[in-house]
Amino acid sequence: MGALHVGHLSLVELARKRADLVWVSIFVNPTQFNDNSDFEGYPRDLEADLEICRNRGVDLVYAPEVEDLYPVGDQTRVGVGDLAEPLCGASRPGHFEGVATVVARLLLAAKPHVAIFGEKDFQQLAVIRRMASDLGIDVEILGGAIVREPDGLALSSRNARLGPIARKQAVALVDALDAAERAVANGERARDALLAEVRRHLETATQATLDYAELRDPDTLEPVPPALDGPALLALAVEFEPDPDGAGKPVRLIDNRVLLPAQP
Protein backbone atom coordinates (compact mmCIF):
# COMPACT_ATOMS: atom_id res chain seq x y z
CA MET A 1 0.00 0.00 0.00
CA GLY A 2 2.92 2.33 -0.61
CA ALA A 3 5.15 4.10 1.95
CA LEU A 4 7.87 1.80 0.66
CA HIS A 5 10.76 0.80 2.93
CA VAL A 6 13.62 -1.69 2.93
CA GLY A 7 11.28 -4.55 3.80
CA HIS A 8 9.25 -3.96 0.64
CA LEU A 9 12.42 -3.66 -1.42
CA SER A 10 13.58 -7.08 -0.19
CA LEU A 11 10.51 -8.47 -1.97
CA VAL A 12 11.60 -6.67 -5.14
CA GLU A 13 15.03 -8.31 -4.89
CA LEU A 14 13.45 -11.73 -4.35
CA ALA A 15 11.21 -11.15 -7.36
CA ARG A 16 14.23 -10.20 -9.45
CA LYS A 17 15.73 -13.64 -8.73
CA ARG A 18 12.57 -15.40 -9.86
CA ALA A 19 11.39 -13.46 -12.90
CA ASP A 20 12.48 -11.56 -15.99
CA LEU A 21 10.15 -8.63 -15.26
CA VAL A 22 9.29 -7.18 -11.85
CA TRP A 23 6.09 -5.25 -11.31
CA VAL A 24 5.02 -3.51 -8.10
CA SER A 25 1.44 -2.68 -7.22
CA ILE A 26 0.76 0.37 -5.05
CA PHE A 27 -2.83 0.76 -3.92
CA VAL A 28 -4.31 1.85 -0.59
CA ASN A 29 -7.25 -0.54 -0.45
CA PRO A 30 -10.40 0.92 1.13
CA THR A 31 -12.14 -2.41 1.73
CA GLN A 32 -9.61 -3.66 4.29
CA PHE A 33 -10.00 -0.71 6.66
CA ASN A 34 -12.44 -0.96 9.57
CA ASP A 35 -12.21 2.80 10.22
CA ASN A 36 -12.60 5.21 7.31
CA SER A 37 -10.47 7.81 9.11
CA ASP A 38 -7.58 5.30 9.07
CA PHE A 39 -8.04 4.92 5.32
CA GLU A 40 -8.13 8.67 4.78
CA GLY A 41 -5.07 9.20 6.97
CA TYR A 42 -2.96 6.38 5.56
CA PRO A 43 0.43 7.75 4.38
CA ARG A 44 0.59 8.31 0.65
CA ASP A 45 3.60 9.58 -1.31
CA LEU A 46 3.33 8.03 -4.73
CA GLU A 47 6.08 10.16 -6.29
CA ALA A 48 8.57 9.09 -3.61
CA ASP A 49 7.53 5.45 -4.05
CA LEU A 50 7.93 5.70 -7.82
CA GLU A 51 11.42 7.12 -7.42
CA ILE A 52 12.37 4.26 -5.10
CA CYS A 53 11.06 1.76 -7.65
CA ARG A 54 13.01 3.46 -10.47
CA ASN A 55 16.20 3.26 -8.44
CA ARG A 56 15.65 -0.44 -7.81
CA GLY A 57 15.03 -1.26 -11.46
CA VAL A 58 11.34 -2.09 -11.13
CA ASP A 59 9.98 -2.56 -14.65
CA LEU A 60 6.44 -1.33 -14.04
CA VAL A 61 4.38 0.13 -11.21
CA TYR A 62 0.65 -0.54 -11.24
CA ALA A 63 -1.03 2.23 -9.22
CA PRO A 64 -4.76 2.05 -9.98
CA GLU A 65 -7.44 4.44 -8.76
CA VAL A 66 -10.19 3.08 -6.50
CA GLU A 67 -12.70 3.07 -9.36
CA ASP A 68 -10.34 0.93 -11.47
CA LEU A 69 -10.58 -1.95 -9.00
CA TYR A 70 -14.02 -1.18 -7.57
CA PRO A 71 -16.15 0.05 -10.49
CA VAL A 72 -19.53 1.67 -9.99
CA GLY A 73 -22.06 -0.98 -8.95
CA ASP A 74 -19.37 -3.34 -7.64
CA GLN A 75 -20.87 -6.04 -5.36
CA THR A 76 -18.43 -8.96 -5.31
CA ARG A 77 -16.23 -9.78 -2.33
CA VAL A 78 -13.93 -12.75 -1.65
CA GLY A 79 -14.11 -14.46 1.75
CA VAL A 80 -11.61 -17.01 3.03
CA GLY A 81 -13.44 -18.79 5.85
CA ASP A 82 -11.68 -20.08 8.93
CA LEU A 83 -8.22 -18.72 8.04
CA ALA A 84 -9.54 -15.17 8.32
CA GLU A 85 -11.20 -15.54 11.72
CA PRO A 86 -8.45 -15.84 14.40
CA LEU A 87 -5.51 -13.56 15.25
CA CYS A 88 -5.84 -10.23 13.41
CA GLY A 89 -9.21 -11.31 12.02
CA ALA A 90 -10.74 -11.49 15.49
CA SER A 91 -10.18 -7.79 16.19
CA ARG A 92 -10.50 -6.55 12.61
CA PRO A 93 -13.74 -8.02 11.20
CA GLY A 94 -13.91 -7.83 7.43
CA HIS A 95 -10.22 -6.99 7.07
CA PHE A 96 -9.18 -10.19 5.33
CA GLU A 97 -12.22 -10.17 3.08
CA GLY A 98 -10.93 -6.82 1.86
CA VAL A 99 -7.41 -8.21 1.47
CA ALA A 100 -8.53 -11.31 -0.44
CA THR A 101 -10.81 -9.25 -2.68
CA VAL A 102 -8.19 -6.69 -3.67
CA VAL A 103 -5.39 -9.23 -4.14
CA ALA A 104 -7.63 -11.37 -6.35
CA ARG A 105 -8.37 -8.31 -8.49
CA LEU A 106 -4.71 -7.27 -8.63
CA LEU A 107 -3.63 -10.78 -9.64
CA LEU A 108 -6.32 -11.00 -12.34
CA ALA A 109 -5.33 -7.58 -13.68
CA ALA A 110 -1.56 -8.19 -13.76
CA LYS A 111 -1.56 -11.96 -14.42
CA PRO A 112 1.89 -12.56 -12.85
CA HIS A 113 3.59 -15.94 -12.80
CA VAL A 114 4.90 -15.34 -9.26
CA ALA A 115 3.58 -13.00 -6.56
CA ILE A 116 5.56 -12.22 -3.41
CA PHE A 117 4.21 -11.08 -0.05
CA GLY A 118 6.05 -10.45 3.22
CA GLU A 119 5.99 -13.07 5.98
CA LYS A 120 5.56 -10.39 8.66
CA ASP A 121 1.87 -10.46 7.72
CA PHE A 122 1.78 -14.24 8.15
CA GLN A 123 -2.00 -14.57 8.31
CA GLN A 124 -2.37 -12.38 5.22
CA LEU A 125 0.05 -14.64 3.34
CA ALA A 126 -1.92 -17.73 4.42
CA VAL A 127 -5.20 -16.14 3.30
CA ILE A 128 -3.75 -15.16 -0.08
CA ARG A 129 -2.32 -18.64 -0.69
CA ARG A 130 -5.66 -20.25 0.12
CA MET A 131 -7.59 -17.75 -2.00
CA ALA A 132 -5.35 -18.21 -5.05
CA SER A 133 -5.52 -21.99 -4.73
CA ASP A 134 -9.28 -22.14 -4.20
CA LEU A 135 -10.03 -19.81 -7.13
CA GLY A 136 -7.57 -21.55 -9.44
CA ILE A 137 -5.56 -18.40 -10.12
CA ASP A 138 -2.48 -19.53 -12.02
CA VAL A 139 0.20 -17.91 -9.88
CA GLU A 140 2.89 -19.10 -7.49
CA ILE A 141 2.57 -17.31 -4.13
CA LEU A 142 5.87 -16.84 -2.30
CA GLY A 143 6.69 -15.43 1.13
CA GLY A 144 9.58 -13.03 1.70
CA ALA A 145 11.46 -13.23 5.01
CA ILE A 146 10.91 -10.54 7.64
CA VAL A 147 13.45 -7.72 7.44
CA ARG A 148 14.41 -6.23 10.80
CA GLU A 149 15.92 -3.04 12.14
CA PRO A 150 19.33 -3.25 13.89
CA ASP A 151 17.69 -3.90 17.29
CA GLY A 152 15.50 -6.65 15.86
CA LEU A 153 12.20 -4.83 15.50
CA ALA A 154 10.39 -5.92 12.33
CA LEU A 155 10.48 -3.20 9.69
CA SER A 156 7.17 -1.41 9.26
CA SER A 157 6.08 1.99 8.06
CA ARG A 158 4.26 2.21 11.41
CA ASN A 159 7.54 2.22 13.35
CA ALA A 160 8.05 5.87 12.44
CA ARG A 161 4.84 6.73 14.29
CA LEU A 162 6.17 5.37 17.60
CA GLY A 163 7.26 7.95 20.16
CA PRO A 164 10.75 7.62 21.71
CA ILE A 165 9.55 5.65 24.74
CA ALA A 166 7.32 3.33 22.73
CA ARG A 167 10.08 2.77 20.17
CA LYS A 168 12.45 1.55 22.90
CA GLN A 169 9.76 -0.67 24.37
CA ALA A 170 8.79 -2.14 20.99
CA VAL A 171 11.80 -4.48 21.06
CA ALA A 172 9.82 -6.48 23.63
CA LEU A 173 8.15 -8.20 20.68
CA VAL A 174 11.38 -9.63 19.31
CA ASP A 175 12.62 -10.35 22.86
CA ALA A 176 9.48 -12.46 23.38
CA LEU A 177 10.01 -14.33 20.10
CA ASP A 178 13.67 -14.97 20.97
CA ALA A 179 12.77 -16.23 24.44
CA ALA A 180 10.22 -18.68 23.07
CA GLU A 181 12.67 -19.95 20.47
CA ARG A 182 15.32 -20.51 23.15
CA ALA A 183 12.84 -22.32 25.36
CA VAL A 184 11.84 -24.68 22.53
CA ALA A 185 15.52 -25.29 21.69
CA ASN A 186 16.04 -26.21 25.36
CA GLY A 187 13.26 -28.77 25.22
CA GLU A 188 10.14 -26.89 26.34
CA ARG A 189 7.04 -28.22 24.60
CA ALA A 190 4.21 -27.05 26.86
CA ARG A 191 2.07 -24.49 25.03
CA ASP A 192 0.95 -22.67 28.17
CA ALA A 193 4.49 -22.42 29.57
CA LEU A 194 5.76 -20.96 26.32
CA LEU A 195 2.97 -18.40 26.17
CA ALA A 196 3.56 -17.43 29.80
CA GLU A 197 7.23 -16.74 28.95
CA VAL A 198 6.17 -14.69 25.94
CA ARG A 199 3.75 -12.59 28.00
CA ARG A 200 6.40 -12.01 30.66
CA HIS A 201 8.59 -10.30 28.07
CA LEU A 202 5.72 -8.36 26.52
CA GLU A 203 4.72 -7.00 29.93
CA THR A 204 7.98 -5.03 30.02
CA ALA A 205 6.45 -2.78 27.34
CA THR A 206 4.36 -0.71 29.73
CA GLN A 207 2.92 1.48 26.95
CA ALA A 208 1.63 -1.53 25.04
CA THR A 209 -1.71 -3.31 25.22
CA LEU A 210 -1.65 -6.94 24.16
CA ASP A 211 -4.07 -7.88 21.40
CA TYR A 212 -2.93 -11.49 21.12
CA ALA A 213 -0.04 -13.85 21.73
CA GLU A 214 -0.95 -17.24 20.31
CA LEU A 215 0.56 -20.48 19.10
CA ARG A 216 -1.08 -21.72 15.92
CA ASP A 217 -0.55 -24.35 13.26
CA PRO A 218 1.43 -22.59 10.46
CA ASP A 219 -0.72 -24.10 7.71
CA THR A 220 -4.26 -24.10 9.11
CA LEU A 221 -3.92 -21.42 11.83
CA GLU A 222 -5.74 -23.82 14.15
CA PRO A 223 -4.62 -23.75 17.83
CA VAL A 224 -1.70 -26.07 18.57
CA PRO A 225 -2.18 -28.93 21.07
CA PRO A 226 -1.20 -28.46 24.75
CA ALA A 227 2.17 -30.10 23.97
CA LEU A 228 3.85 -29.00 20.74
CA ASP A 229 4.25 -31.92 18.36
CA GLY A 230 5.48 -30.06 15.28
CA PRO A 231 6.13 -26.59 13.86
CA ALA A 232 4.15 -23.85 15.63
CA LEU A 233 3.51 -20.28 14.58
CA LEU A 234 4.02 -17.86 17.46
CA ALA A 235 2.03 -14.78 16.44
CA LEU A 236 2.00 -11.48 18.35
CA ALA A 237 0.05 -8.24 18.09
CA VAL A 238 0.29 -5.27 20.45
CA GLU A 239 -0.95 -1.70 20.38
CA PHE A 240 1.25 1.12 21.64
CA GLU A 241 -0.24 4.27 23.08
CA PRO A 242 1.41 7.59 22.16
CA ASP A 243 4.16 8.74 24.52
CA PRO A 244 2.81 10.70 27.53
CA ASP A 245 3.82 14.02 25.99
CA GLY A 246 3.15 12.93 22.44
CA ALA A 247 0.21 13.13 20.08
CA GLY A 248 -1.35 10.92 17.48
CA LYS A 249 -3.19 7.62 17.40
CA PRO A 250 -2.13 4.28 18.90
CA VAL A 251 0.25 2.20 16.79
CA ARG A 252 -0.44 -1.49 16.25
CA LEU A 253 2.56 -3.76 15.65
CA ILE A 254 2.62 -7.42 14.67
CA ASP A 255 5.40 -9.99 14.54
CA ASN A 256 5.77 -13.74 14.34
CA ARG A 257 8.12 -16.67 14.23
CA VAL A 258 7.69 -20.35 13.38
CA LEU A 259 9.05 -22.45 16.25
CA LEU A 260 10.57 -25.76 15.23
CA PRO A 261 10.74 -28.37 18.02
CA ALA A 262 13.41 -30.99 17.39
CA GLN A 263 11.88 -34.29 16.40
CA PRO A 264 12.77 -37.39 18.47
User: Which residues are catalytically annotated?
Assistant: 8
3-state SS class at 253: strand
Q: Is the dihedral of CA 122, 127, 128, 129 positive or negative?
A: positive
Which own/partner pairs from 222-226 qualify as long-range (CB within 8 Å, at least 24 positions apart)? Answer: 222/82, 224/191, 225/191, 226/190, 226/191, 226/192
Q: Which of 241, 232, 249 is nearest to 210 (CA)?
A: 241
- Contact predicate 27/64, CB 8 Å: yes
Q: Which of 178, 176, 181, 211 is nearest to 196 (CA)?
A: 176
Q: Which of 119, 81, 116, 103 is nearest to 235 (CA)?
A: 119
Strands 23-25 and 60-62: parallel
